[in-house]
Amino acid sequence: MDDYCDDIILTGDRPTGPLHLGHYAGSLANRVALQGRCRRQFILLADLQALTDNAGDPGRVARNVLEVALDYLAIGLDPARSPFVLQSGVPALAELTVHYLNLVTVARLERNPTVKAEIQQRGFARDIPAGFLCYPVSQAADITAFKATLVPVGDDQLPMIEQTNEIAARINRLGGREILPEAKALLSTTPRLPGIDGKAKASKSLGNAISLSASADEVTRAVQMMFTDPAHLRVSDPGQTVGNVVFAYLAAFDPDRAGVAALGEHYRRGGLGDSVVKKRLNEVLQALLGPIRERRERYARDPAQVMRFVDAGTAAAREIAARTLDDVRGVFGLRPAATIAGRSAERLSLPVEAG
Amino acid sequence: MDDYCDDIILTGDRPTGPLHLGHYAGSLANRVALQGRCRRQFILLADLQALTDNAGDPGRVARNVLEVALDYLAIGLDPARSPFVLQSGVPALAELTVHYLNLVTVARLERNPTVKAEIQQRGFARDIPAGFLCYPVSQAADITAFKATLVPVGDDQLPMIEQTNEIAARINRLGGREILPEAKALLSTTPRLPGIDGKAKASKSLGNAISLSASADEVTRAVQMMFTDPAHLRVSDPGQTVGNVVFAYLAAFDPDRAGVAALGEHYRRGGLGDSVVKKRLNEVLQALLGPIRERRERYARDPAQVMRFVDAGTAAAREIAARTLDDVRGVFGLRPAATIAGRSAERLSLPVEAG
């Protein structure tokens, strides 16, 4: 991805909480880098998908749409080049999902390793919501609606791309021509950022993540609390850098690669205290997050403007998705949605009642 | 249902073939009777539902939308009082389906007796399309979209109403107020019309049904071929009227109830030939189908006008369903769809490319 590519990228987040450094290292930084280097990059605020397992707490999803959009603007995503798209504002996605559900068997969905794994992880057993089982189909709708050809994913999400391409191939076969392009995975090469407590995953719900909106003091406190090497008791002791959260964060964020290598060697040899490496990490994170925080605060003063960015991206996405939907409707012998809508001027004399 | 009722009725058909006398006896005649006796009667041309098991032959569904609409007009359904609604022209139905899928577990869908029975009947085993498993949820979307309170069904479809009411109750609980009304079943009291060959079900695909569009000759031939009592060899023999298709059709369609009773008694006693009862049935069916055929031919001369009726009913339905969708979106913390659409004037400068 060093040069300009002709790909359409689809990426995004479930708006269930503000984004944090784990997201930044894993995907957000990459989006900023990709911006302007591809044909278009759609950033999906996947609120409908977030509702598949937050149906009981919908307020959480609604609140976080603004928070996540603020995070996007704060890190430097430009809504004109990387449109922010609110999933629930693109009705074609639901209709594509319904069409695709006819092309996928229940057995195939149950075999999907991502669904299998998440079912286990969430302890759903057989009582999973049908929406959760159908979630790979909904993702296929997202990807194909924008005719995305490149989808940044972790390797645990490869089965989603596979399922999407199966559906696209089926549509193309039924239609007798290429209607939906094949999507390729853009595999992330960044190792997953651990939580500040040393747990494998930094997550808002575990309380072990540093938000992109964290204050300078919160960052400093988080760095001070960070898990290092519990056997590294005296400065003179040799220390472990593997499994040491401070070094994991330095590897992810310190632009001075040689400096990090030298610090690590010194630490492993002995004679380097945690406080020195934590001081360096604090400088690095403050330098990274300071400008992000400033931009975030500036945008947060005008939430209506932020939502206008979201709405404008969504409106543009809606047009593109509607065209894809019409292509897919054609495969099923259905007229373009607009030709039905267009004739609505000739109305029946139905009294339209309130609620 | 003798008097005017305040109910909103939802009924309809899967447009997979022209309608026949079995449909007429089972539901169409009742729709004509209900027309104007209820607040509103929506007639759904369930093309999306028909695609759940016709995805490989979509042309069949598309062709039959016109045929079924012609049948409706021919029997005297008035599109101003009983709007014809093309399911695929009401995008809110797909979005409601997607929302409801989060409220129903896979185990609950698999327990649905109608789905169970149809899975067995169609020999799907585990490889059922996901759309088929989700079909009760899609029906719940149809019923609730129009806030239907009365749904004419056979008793094999009662589980669908139950599933719909479970979803409606869940939405109302989440919303803290009555958003979706309870739907009641209007159970059909008419026994199922047998095929002309004596099989339990008259069906187009079995070739044992008399189409509403059958010519006079076709009707006469079908009556002549009708299964009667195979043991009734001589006119003087006593005959069976139970399991005798000619008597089943007379019971369903002959307005002269006393005459049918007398014929039946005579037949059972002996001394009445099949040709006499078949002659009577032929008269009855010609009298019933003659005007239907004439009206059908008249409307068939202007298919564009027929589709304008469908489009007008669909446009009216779309408005009503969109309001219901906004109510349901509100429960999930989602803004009304129109507020997002309304802001689309402020566009990003995205170049919109062709296909």
Do residues B189 and B333 share a domain?
Answer: yes
Of A40, A106, A355, the CB nearest to B133: A106
Q: Name the DSSP class of B179.
A: -
Q: Which chain A residue has the Cα nearest residue B78?
A: A348
Asked if A101 and B347 come within 8 Å (Cβ–Cβ), the reply is no
pLDDT confidence of B349, banded at 50, 70, 90?
very low
A252 to chain B, minimum CA–CA distance in Å?
A: 33
Q: What pLDDT shows up at residue B7?
A: 92
Q: Note whether residue B45 is domain-resident.
A: yes
pLDDT confidence of B156, banded at 50, 70, 90?
confident
A144: containing domain: 8-193+303-345
Asked if A55 and B138 come within 8 Å (Cβ–Cβ), the reply is no
Q: Note whether residue A198 is domain-resident.
A: no
Asked if A312 and B352 come within 8 Å (Cβ–Cβ), the reply is no
Residue (of A152, A69, A307, A319) closest to B350 by Cα position: A319
The pairing of strands B8-13 and B40-45 is parallel
pLDDT confidence of B122, banded at 50, 70, 90?
low
Q: Which chain A residue has the Cα nearest residue B319?
A: A352
Q: What pLDDT shows up at residue B126?
A: 64
Of A51, A312, A349, the CB nearest to B347: A312
Rounded to an integer, what distance in angstroms lies between the CA atom of residue B239 and that of residue B242?
9
Do residues B126 and B43 share a domain?
Answer: yes
Residue (of A306, A254, A330, A321) closest to A87 by Cα position: A321
Asked if A346 and B134 come within 8 Å (Cβ–Cβ), the reply is no
- Substitution target in B42, B144, B340 with the highest count of A β-carbons within 10 Å is B340
Residue (of A28, A32, A42) closest to A321 by Cα position: A42
Q: Report the SS3 class of residue B310.
A: helix
Do residues B294 and B307 share a domain?
Answer: no
Do residues B132 and B250 share a domain?
Answer: no
Question: Is residue B352 scored above 60 in pLDDT?
Answer: no
Runs of H (alpha helix) within chain A: 21-23, 29-34, 47-51, 58-75, 91-101, 106-111, 113-122, 130-133, 135-145, 158-175, 216-225, 245-253, 257-269, 274-300, 303-331, 337-342
Asked if B333 and A61 come within 8 Å (Cβ–Cβ), the reply is yes
Segment B179-194 shows an average pLDDT of 91
Q: What pLDDT shows up at residue A340?
A: 65
Of A56, A134, A352, the CB nearest to B101: A134
CB contact at 8 A, A189 and A182:
no
Of A51, A102, A309, the CB nearest to B332: A51
Instruction: Annotate B253-297 with DSSP letters as a single string.
Output: H-S-HHHHHHHHHHHHHS---HHHHHHHHHHHHHHHHHHHHHHHH
Q: What percent of chain B has pLDDT over 90?
A: 73
Asked if B97 and A99 come within 8 Å (Cβ–Cβ), the reply is no
Of A105, A174, A323, the CB nearest to B129: A105
B48 to chain A, minimum CA–CA distance in Å?
A: 8
Q: What pLDDT shows up at residue B344?
A: 43
Do residues A55 and A160 share a domain?
Answer: yes
**Between A66 and B352, residue with greater pLDDT:** A66
Total beta-carbon pairs less than 8 A apart between chain A and chain B: 218
Mean pLDDT of chain B: 90
Q: Note whether residue B3 is domain-resident.
A: no
Rounded to an integer, what distance in angstroms lies between the CA atom of residue B42 and that of residue B316?
10
Buried b (16+ CB within 10 A) or exposed e, B60-91: ebbebbbbbbbbbbbbebebebbbbbbbbbbb
Asked if A94 and B97 come within 8 Å (Cβ–Cβ), the reply is yes
Do residues A295 and A308 share a domain?
Answer: no
A198 to chain B, minimum CA–CA distance in Å?
A: 34
**ipTM rounded to 2 decimals:** 0.88
Return left, alpha or beta for A106; rule: phi > 0 is left, psi -120 to 50 is alpha, else beta. alpha
Do residues B127 and B148 share a domain?
Answer: yes
Q: What pLDDT shows up at residue B340?
A: 65
Of B130, B319, B343, the CB nearest to A137: B130
Of A104, A313, A319, the CB nearest to B129: A104
Do residues A255 and A339 share a domain?
Answer: no
B184-187: strand order across its sheet: B84-86, B40-45, B8-13, B150-153, B184-187
pLDDT confidence of B288, banded at 50, 70, 90?
very high
Q: Note whether residue A352 is domain-resident.
A: no
Q: Which chain B residue has the Cα nearest residue A133?
A: B106
CB contact at 8 A, A42 and A146:
yes
Do residues A283 and A310 share a domain?
Answer: no
Question: Is residue B353 scored above 80 in pLDDT?
Answer: no
Instruction: Annotate A108-135 with DSSP letters as a single string.
Output: HHHH-HHHHHHHHHHT-TT--BHHHHTH
Q: What pLDDT shows up at residue B341?
A: 53
CB contact at 8 A, A260 and A250:
yes
Residue (of A85, A97, A89) closest to A44 by Cα position: A85
Q: What pLDDT shows up at residue A114?
A: 75
The pairing of strands B150-153 and B184-187 is parallel
- Digit-by-digit pLDDT tens for chain A (355 residues) are 445 688 999 999 999 999 999 999 989 999 999 997 888 999 999 999 888 777 778 888 889 999 999 999 999 999 999 999 999 999 999 999 999 999 999 889 988 887 787 677 766 666 788 998 999 999 999 999 999 999 999 888 899 999 999 999 999 999 999 999 999 999 988 888 999 999 888 887 788 999 999 999 999 999 999 999 999 999 999 999 999 999 999 999 999 999 999 999 999 999 999 999 999 999 999 999 999 999 999 999 999 999 999 999 999 999 999 999 999 999 999 988 777 654 443 444 444 333 3
State the CATH number of the domain containing residue B27.
3.40.50.620
**Between B124 and B26, residue with greater pLDDT:** B26
N- to C-terminal Cα distance for chain B?
A: 52
Q: Note whether residue A317 is domain-resident.
A: yes
pLDDT confidence of B123, banded at 50, 70, 90?
low
Q: Which chain A residue has the Cα nearest residue B324?
A: A355
Do residues A234 and A118 share a domain?
Answer: no
Within 8 A of B134 by CB-CB distance, chain A residues are 101, 130, 134
Asked if A62 and B312 come within 8 Å (Cβ–Cβ), the reply is no
- Substitution target in B332, B347, B353 with the highest count of A β-carbons within 10 Å is B332
Residue with tokens 């959009």: A69
Q: Note whether residue A153 is domain-resident.
A: yes
Measured torsion, CA atoms of residues B214, B215, B220, B222, in degrees rounded to the nearest 10: -30
Q: Which chain B residue has the Cα nearest residue A332?
A: B58
B320 to chain A, minimum CA–CA distance in Å?
A: 8
State the CATH number of the domain containing residue B283.
1.10.240.10
Of A51, A315, A332, the CB nearest to B344: A315
Q: Note whether residue B205 is domain-resident.
A: no
Q: What pLDDT shows up at residue B345?
A: 37
Q: Note whether residue B220 is domain-resident.
A: yes
A163, amino acid identity: Q
Q: What pLDDT shows up at residue B38?
A: 86
B152, amino acid identity: P
Asked if A315 and B343 come within 8 Å (Cβ–Cβ), the reply is yes
Asked if A332 and B52 come within 8 Å (Cβ–Cβ), the reply is no
Residue with tokens 């960052």: A219
Rounded to an integer, what distance in angstroms lies between the CA atom of residue A318 and that of residue B215?
48
The pairing of strands A150-153 and B84-86 is unpaired
pLDDT confidence of B124, banded at 50, 70, 90?
low
B129 to chain A, minimum CA–CA distance in Å?
A: 4
A84-86: strand order across its sheet: A84-86, A40-45, A8-13, A150-153, A184-187
- What's the domain count of chain B? 2
CB contact at 8 A, B19 and B55:
no
CB atoms within 10 A of CB B39: 14
Handedness of CA A61, A66, A67, A68 (dihedral sign): positive
Do residues B185 and B157 share a domain?
Answer: yes
pTM of the model as a whole = 0.89
Do residues B295 and B340 share a domain?
Answer: no
